[in-house]
Structures are given as C-alpha cells and as structure tokens.
Amino acid sequence: MATVIKHRKVKIVVLEPDAEIAAHCGEGDIAILQDDEGWWVKFVGAGGAIDCYGIPYPSYNEALWSAKAAAEFGT
C-alpha cells in the first residue's frame, strides 16, 4: 500500500518497507521509504532512474518536509 501526497503538482509517494519504487512512482515523483537506517527521500527521473540524498532522515516528518521542499523547487 502506498500513500500519495500531492505538493505543488509533484506526487510524493510514501511506500511500505517492502514496496518497489517502480511499481508506484513515475518520472518526476518523489518516494519516501523507511528501512533500518531511517527515512529515505528518493527522486524518480527519466527511464526510472533513482537518485537520493546520501543519508536517511531520522523521522518521517523530516523526510516529508524535505520532499515538500524539493517539490517547491522542482525535482
């Protein structure tokens, strides 16, 4: 299950831990997912290319804030 948040016409998709980014996100979307290290913000580019910040955020709220800030500037 994925939760979709629209911010500035950018789709931010919060994924369950076992979900695949490609199954829920397309070009221009931002994915947020959690693992043992923390909350990751990943950007989906052309052809399904994935880019992300080098470190995870310690909380969901920080990751969401970061994703919304990225949407403000355009991914």
Structure tokens at 12: 């931010």
Q: What is the CA radius of gyration of the chain?
A: 11
Q: How confident is the model at residue 75 (pLDDT cuts 50, 70, 90)?
A: low
Would you state the pLDDT for residue 17? Answer: 84
Tokens 């290290």 — which residue? Answer: 37
Please state the pTM of the whole predicted model.
Answer: 0.92
Dist CA 64 CA 48 (whole Å): 21
- In 1-75, alpha helices (H): 21-24, 60-73
Write the pLDDT tens digit of every residue in 49-73.
Answer: 999 988 999 999 999 999 999 999 8
30 CB neighbour count, 10 Å cutoff: 25
Tokens 């911010």 — which residue? Answer: 7
Structure tokens at 20: 């695949």
Residue 26 pLDDT > 90 = yes
Residue 42 pLDDT > 90 = yes
Q: Give mean pLDDT, residues 3-15.
A: 93
Question: Domain residues of the chain, as ranges?
Answer: 2-73
